[in-house]
Structure 1
Amino acid sequence: MNTTAPSMPAARVWRAYLTEAGTECVRYMRAPSFMLPITLFPTLFYLLFGVVMNHAGGEQVQRYLLVSYAVFGVMSPGLFGFGVSLAMERESGLLTLKRALPMPPGAYLIGKMLMAMAAAALVVILLLVLAELLGGTGYSISAMLALVATGALGVLPFCALGLWVGTLVKGQGAAPILNMIYLPMAFLSGLWVPLKQLPHALQQLAPVLPAYHLDQVALSVTGFESVPTTGHVLALAGYTALFLVLAARRLRRLG
């Protein structure tokens, strides 16, 4: 007797991935509690510090802050879109239900990943549109597109970090813990204040943080700083792999 389970046709596999990704995107785009913070925080910070209070800095400071606050905005959908939702879905039993559904095992995570990438790209686009409406930044179209692509791909390490945190805590505790990671990391990575203005001891912490490496890549692709990006890209890939492995081990043991 043949006991091998029939494999799902390729068309149905792709349809399952696309359906899950579309569902995640629609779900979060319709959630004001998710979309408003990730879009308002970076845009308001940019308006306040990059435009209103930037009396003597000029265009260079405005361009620097645009990139830095874009990176700040990119971190949020990865951390909170994965961390908070996973913790709540584990606690409510929804994750267990999804595992029992007849869909590819990776569809759930890939759906969330695509949602986070779309949200990150949206944040960067909003900042670029705002900057252009307020007088422009001098960035070329290719530099703007490079920044959007950097944001969409750069969210992945924070997705992995959020995923790992979501496996460690319960639903109600995820948001406070992620904020304790999110805000200090942004500050220590030089996203709010240039690293050169921080005490030397704090400057030494920046290279161990993924946000610092993403900021360096973003500054490079926009032409603001001419720095080699290979090491920073490898660091971001390493963080992504590390946190994914940690999260996968945790989920296999505890669900």
Structure 2
Amino acid sequence: MPFGYLRIELLRMLRNKRYIIFVVAFPVIFYMINANLWGAQTTEGGVRAGVFLMVSMGAYGALAASMMSTAVPWAQERQSGWLRQLRVTPLPNTTIILTKLAAALLLVLPSLLLVVLAAVVTQGVSLTAGQWAALIPAMWLGTIPFAALGLVIGSLLPVDTAQPVAMLSMFALALLGGLWFPPEAMPATMKDIADVLPSFSYADIGWHLVSGEAVPLSDAVTVVIWAAVLGVLAVLGCRRAVTRA
């Protein structure tokens, strides 16, 4: 993978004020506010709400980062002619797509790790070494379907349309996935919808890990299936976008 191109992709997003404010800062702020309000409460299993909230806000920030770093930038690159510039370089089309996905995964880390840091420092969240070793990689790699969805949106829609569609998709996945309020509080219809969404299964993996429970096979299968389907669509859409640039 050409690390020069990857470095350019990372720097472009890190200099984007909207990414810093809405994707990195907001999840931390939301966590701090809600954790101070009800983070000391405990669940039926004896786990503090602040720990569950860490997973929820970390998942939201990671989901937002993976989509915001793919959908709109990719649509902008198609429209601005940047993809045409890349086509005259020695970079194969597959490398361009994989680099974009790798950049999206790396850009997930600031939001995810800052929420974890805020939970540890301000709420005294403490997990075993094994729980941390399972939680962070699971929540990091679990964003692949959302990054792929962002690439699909950016490949098919113009910039003016891609941005609101990406935002609406992001908010819908967070809301229906139970990232903003406990899934138990959802109406029955919303709960049924949540059960088939990758956002709920993604967060549910984290909730089980911090509870010291085995991850349900259904959650892992749901995330993998969504990653596979959206991944194929992303590759097809990106190849089409690069070829027609």
TM > 0.5 fold call: yes
Asked whether the equivalents of residues 97 and 238 of structure 2 are also in contact (C-alpha less than 8 Å), the reply is: no
Asked whether the equivalents of residues 83 and 174 of structure 1 are also in contact (C-alpha less than 8 Å), the reply is: yes
Residues 111-149 of structure 1, C-alpha deviation per residue, up to 9 Å, x if partnerless?
A: 222222222222221112111221311222332343221
> Aligned partner of 2:218: which letter?
G
Q: Match for residue 93 of structure 2?
A: 105
- Pairing of 1:209-220 with structure 2 (within 5 A): 209-220=197-208
State the distance in 2 between where 1:76 and 1:27 align.
17
User: Identity rate of aligned residues, in percent?
Assistant: 24
Q: Aligned to 2:38, what secondary structure does the other structure show?
A: coil
> Aligned partner of 1:68: which letter?
S
Residues 158-179 of structure 1, C-alpha deviation per residue, up to 9 Å, x if partnerless?
A: 1110111112211122121111
Q: Aligned to 2:68, what secondary structure does the other structure show?
A: helix
Q: Which runs of 5+ in 1 are unaligned?
A: 1-13
Residue 36 (1) aligns with residue 21 (2): yes
Q: Taking structure 1 as reference, are residues 233 and 32 closer, same or farther at Cα in structure 2, changes over 3 Å only?
A: same
Structure (1 or 2) with the larger CA radius of gyration: 1
Residue 134 (1) aligns with residue 134 (2): no
Q: Taking structure 1 as reference, are residues 76 and 103 closer, same or farther at Cα in structure 2, changes over 3 Å only?
A: same
State the distance in 2 between where 1:249 and 1:116 align.
18
State the distance in 1 between where 2:142 and 2:95 align.
20
Residue 73 (1) aligns with residue 69 (2): no
Residue 25 (1) aligns with residue 13 (2): no
Residue 57 (1) aligns with residue 44 (2): no
- Pairing of 1:182-221 with structure 2 (within 5 A): 182-221=170-209
**Range moving further from structure 2, 229-238 or 244-253:** 244-253
Asked whether the equivalents of residues 63 and 170 of structure 2 are also in contact (C-alpha less than 8 Å), the reply is: yes
Q: Match for residue 156 of structure 1?
A: 144
Runs of 4+ in 1 over 4 A off after TM superposition: 251-254
Across the aligned residues of Structure 1 and Structure 2, the Cα RMSD in angstroms comes to 2.0
The CA deviation at 1:39 is 0.9
Q: Aligned to 1:101, what secondary structure does the other structure show?
A: coil
| Residue-pair matches, total | 238
Q: Match for residue 4 of structure 1?
A: none
> Aligned partner of 1:151: which letter?
M
1:90 to 52, 68, 78: 78
State the distance in 2 between where 1:60 and 1:131 align.
11
Q: Which runs of 5+ in 2 are unaligned?
A: none
Q: Match for residue 231 of structure 1?
A: 218
- TM-score, normalised by the number of residues in structure 2: 0.88
